Amino acid sequence: MIASLKDEDGYVYAYIEWEITDGGVTLKKDGEYIYVQTLWVHEDWDGKDAIFELIPEINEHEFSHNAKWVYWNRDKYGDRVSKIFDRWKLSKKGVRYGQEE
């Protein structure tokens, strides 16, 4: 699935590609994991705020209701999988990378 943010002129300035999985590579409509494939934010926008605007779109999607966990691949570390984050902690504003600031 894809969720995007557009500016007042209709141009996309951020998007996120995500899937519901069983915690591995198998897509599962009622899975407990959200796998973030891609997150892109235009360089002129603040990426930290964009993610908090995209998360509600994921939360509203019918397939995401059973999901409890979020993970992604980390490019910086040779595509290693991130640690598993609690979906609801990650979706709260003021929480970065699963830990409260």
Q: What is the mean pLDDT of the chain?
A: 82
CA distance 7 to 94: 23
Residue 94, pLDDT above cutoff 70: no
Assign domain 2-95 to its CATH architecture: 3-Layer(aba) Sandwich (3.40)
Residue 18 phi, psi (nearest 5):
-145, 160
Residue 11, pLDDT score: 93
Question: What is the domain partition of the chain in residue ranges?
Answer: 2-95
pTM across the whole model: 0.77
What digits encode the pLDDT tens for the residues 17-57?
999 998 877 888 888 999 988 889 998 887 777 877 888 88
Looking up tokens 């990650």 gives: 90
- How high is the pLDDT of residue 98? 47
Average pLDDT over every residue of 5-14: 92
Q: Which of 36, 94, 39 is nearest to 70 (CA)?
A: 36
